[in-house]
Amino acid sequence: MATTHAVVRQVQGLTLAGKADSNHWIMMDGPAAFGGADAGTRPKELILLALGGCTASDVISILKKKRADVDQVEVHLTAEQSAEHPTVYTSIHMEYVVTGRGVRAQDVARAIELSETKYCAVSAMLRRAIAISHTYRIQEASEPAPATA
């Protein structure tokens, strides 16, 4: 079993800096109304960003393997949260927006399915506690993608 390590340090007030095994620091903070400096992402927001980043990475990789002509993948996440403390997320909806030329709906659907059921560890963890739904749309790109060297 692999082990991951992380550290979170107080910088000042509610401003925090954290890093894990990848050794990249991120800043977190609370709103000024609660004593923070509003100088970083809220810790709970990082959960949404982690989910979006995890599944987007999978979908991009899978579509690339399918040789889909994709310029960009975006994941728009909307989370509902409880009204009472702790104000946990009760559901998350993800809208995938795939921009490219001639991208096939079945390829996008399959890439999302594989991310959700096989590859995205963040999704696998969160699904045990809350409902996660998705939709997708494909936008046709107006110009060919630039050639890469």
Quote the pTM value.
Answer: 0.90
State how far the alpha carbon of 7 is from the alpha carbons of 34, 36, 40, 97, in Å.
23, 19, 16, 34
The per-residue pLDDT for range 47-88, each reduced to its tens digit, is: 999 999 999 999 999 999 999 999 999 999 999 999 999 999
Main-chain dihedrals φ then ψ at residue 109, nearest 5 degrees: -60, -45
Predicted pLDDT of residue 145: 58
Instruction: Look at residue 149 and tell me whether its pLDDT is greater than 60.
Output: no
- List of E strands, 13-140: 15-20, 26-28, 69-81, 89-101, 131-140
Tell me how far apart the alpha carbons of residues 30 and 47 are, in angstroms, rounded to a whole number: 15
Predicted pLDDT of residue 19: 97
